[in-house]
Structure 1
Protein backbone atom coordinates (compact mmCIF):
# COMPACT_ATOMS: atom_id res chain seq x y z
CA UNK A 1 0.00 0.00 0.00
CA UNK A 2 1.45 3.35 -1.03
CA UNK A 3 1.29 6.23 1.41
CA UNK A 4 1.32 9.85 0.29
CA UNK A 5 2.25 12.74 2.61
CA UNK A 6 -0.03 15.78 2.28
CA UNK A 7 1.27 19.07 3.68
CA UNK A 8 -1.12 20.42 6.29
CA UNK A 9 0.69 23.35 7.89
CA UNK A 10 4.05 25.00 8.52
CA UNK A 11 4.94 26.97 11.65
CA UNK A 12 7.84 29.19 12.69
CA UNK A 13 8.96 28.67 16.29
CA UNK A 14 11.27 30.98 18.21
CA UNK A 15 12.78 29.34 21.28
CA UNK A 16 13.46 32.13 23.78
CA UNK A 17 15.40 32.22 27.07
CA UNK A 18 13.07 32.45 30.07
CA UNK A 19 15.60 32.49 32.90
CA UNK A 20 16.85 29.84 35.29
CA UNK A 21 14.62 27.43 37.22
CA UNK A 22 14.77 26.72 40.95
CA UNK A 23 17.01 23.69 40.34
CA UNK A 24 19.38 25.68 38.13
CA UNK A 25 18.07 24.35 34.81
CA UNK A 26 17.56 26.78 31.94
CA UNK A 27 13.94 27.65 31.19
CA UNK A 28 12.70 28.38 27.69
CA UNK A 29 9.50 29.64 26.15
CA UNK A 30 8.33 28.99 22.58
CA UNK A 31 6.82 31.73 20.46
CA UNK A 32 4.90 30.03 17.65
CA UNK A 33 3.88 31.81 14.47
CA UNK A 34 1.42 29.69 12.50
CA UNK A 35 0.34 29.62 8.88
CA UNK A 36 3.74 30.14 7.25
CA UNK A 37 3.38 29.70 3.49
CA UNK A 38 4.48 26.24 2.42
CA UNK A 39 6.27 27.82 -0.55
CA UNK A 40 8.42 30.06 1.69
CA UNK A 41 12.15 29.39 1.41
CA UNK A 42 14.16 28.60 4.54
CA UNK A 43 16.21 31.76 4.01
CA UNK A 44 13.05 33.87 3.92
CA UNK A 45 11.67 32.23 7.06
CA UNK A 46 14.98 32.88 8.82
CA UNK A 47 14.98 36.53 7.72
CA UNK A 48 11.48 37.01 9.15
CA UNK A 49 12.56 35.21 12.33
CA UNK A 50 15.48 37.63 12.78
CA UNK A 51 13.12 40.59 12.44
CA UNK A 52 10.76 39.09 15.04
CA UNK A 53 13.67 38.35 17.39
CA UNK A 54 14.53 42.05 17.30
CA UNK A 55 11.09 42.78 18.79
CA UNK A 56 11.50 40.33 21.69
CA UNK A 57 12.74 41.21 25.16
CA UNK A 58 14.22 37.75 25.79
CA UNK A 59 17.34 36.30 24.19
CA UNK A 60 16.80 33.90 21.30
CA UNK A 61 18.12 30.35 21.68
CA UNK A 62 16.90 28.72 18.45
CA UNK A 63 14.84 29.22 15.31
CA UNK A 64 12.76 26.19 14.34
CA UNK A 65 10.46 25.28 11.47
CA UNK A 66 7.74 22.69 12.04
CA UNK A 67 6.08 21.00 9.08
CA UNK A 68 2.93 18.95 9.66
CA UNK A 69 1.90 16.31 7.14
CA UNK A 70 -1.14 14.08 6.95
CA UNK A 71 -0.44 10.58 5.70
CA UNK A 72 -3.00 9.21 3.25
CA UNK A 73 -3.16 5.87 1.51
CA UNK A 74 -3.53 5.84 -2.24
Structure 2
Protein backbone atom coordinates (compact mmCIF):
# COMPACT_ATOMS: atom_id res chain seq x y z
CA UNK A 1 0.00 0.00 0.00
CA UNK A 2 1.45 3.34 -1.02
CA UNK A 3 0.64 6.61 0.72
CA UNK A 4 1.00 9.79 -1.25
CA UNK A 5 0.93 13.05 0.64
CA UNK A 6 1.72 16.70 0.28
CA UNK A 7 4.34 18.40 2.38
CA UNK A 8 2.98 21.70 3.58
CA UNK A 9 5.37 24.26 4.96
CA UNK A 10 3.92 27.12 6.96
CA UNK A 11 5.87 30.26 7.41
CA UNK A 12 4.91 32.44 10.27
CA UNK A 13 5.68 36.12 10.45
CA UNK A 14 7.28 37.37 13.62
CA UNK A 15 4.79 38.42 16.29
CA UNK A 16 4.40 42.16 16.73
CA UNK A 17 6.96 43.66 19.11
CA UNK A 18 5.54 45.27 22.26
CA UNK A 19 5.94 49.05 22.30
CA UNK A 20 7.91 48.93 25.57
CA UNK A 21 10.98 47.18 24.05
CA UNK A 22 13.63 48.44 21.63
CA UNK A 23 14.84 46.69 18.45
CA UNK A 24 17.15 44.45 20.49
CA UNK A 25 14.27 43.38 22.75
CA UNK A 26 15.59 45.37 25.70
CA UNK A 27 12.85 46.80 27.94
CA UNK A 28 12.47 50.57 27.64
CA UNK A 29 11.03 52.75 30.39
CA UNK A 30 7.81 54.56 29.54
CA UNK A 31 8.20 58.29 28.98
CA UNK A 32 6.08 60.45 31.25
CA UNK A 33 3.83 62.86 29.31
CA UNK A 34 2.15 66.05 30.45
CA UNK A 35 0.14 68.50 28.37
CA UNK A 36 1.51 72.00 27.91
CA UNK A 37 -1.81 73.41 29.13
CA UNK A 38 -1.46 71.56 32.42
CA UNK A 39 2.23 72.46 32.71
CA UNK A 40 1.68 76.18 32.11
CA UNK A 41 -1.58 76.22 34.14
CA UNK A 42 -3.10 79.10 32.16
CA UNK A 43 0.06 81.21 32.20
CA UNK A 44 2.21 82.13 29.21
CA UNK A 45 5.59 81.53 30.88
CA UNK A 46 7.12 78.99 33.24
CA UNK A 47 10.56 79.05 34.89
CA UNK A 48 12.29 75.68 35.18
CA UNK A 49 15.21 75.36 37.59
CA UNK A 50 17.79 72.81 36.44
CA UNK A 51 21.23 72.24 37.96
CA UNK A 52 21.52 75.80 39.27
CA UNK A 53 20.29 77.47 36.07
CA UNK A 54 16.90 78.90 35.14
CA UNK A 55 15.18 78.11 31.87
CA UNK A 56 12.11 79.97 30.60
CA UNK A 57 9.39 78.07 28.77
CA UNK A 58 7.23 80.56 26.89
CA UNK A 59 4.04 80.17 24.91
CA UNK A 60 4.12 82.40 21.80
CA UNK A 61 1.19 84.24 20.23
CA UNK A 62 1.21 81.56 17.52
CA UNK A 63 0.79 78.80 20.09
CA UNK A 64 4.35 77.49 19.89
CA UNK A 65 6.68 76.77 22.80
CA UNK A 66 10.13 78.33 23.19
CA UNK A 67 12.65 77.23 25.84
CA UNK A 68 15.45 79.71 26.58
CA UNK A 69 18.15 79.91 29.22
TM range (shorter): under 0.3
User: Which structure has more helix as a fraction of its residues?
Assistant: 1
Q: Please give the TM-score of this superposition, normalised by the length of structure 1.
A: 0.24
Instruction: State the structure with bigger RCO (CA 8 A, min sep 6), 1 or 2.
Output: 1
Bigger Rg, structure 1 or 2: 2
User: Which structure has more strand as a fraction of its residues?
Assistant: 1
Q: Please give the TM-score of this superposition, normalised by the length of structure 2.
A: 0.25
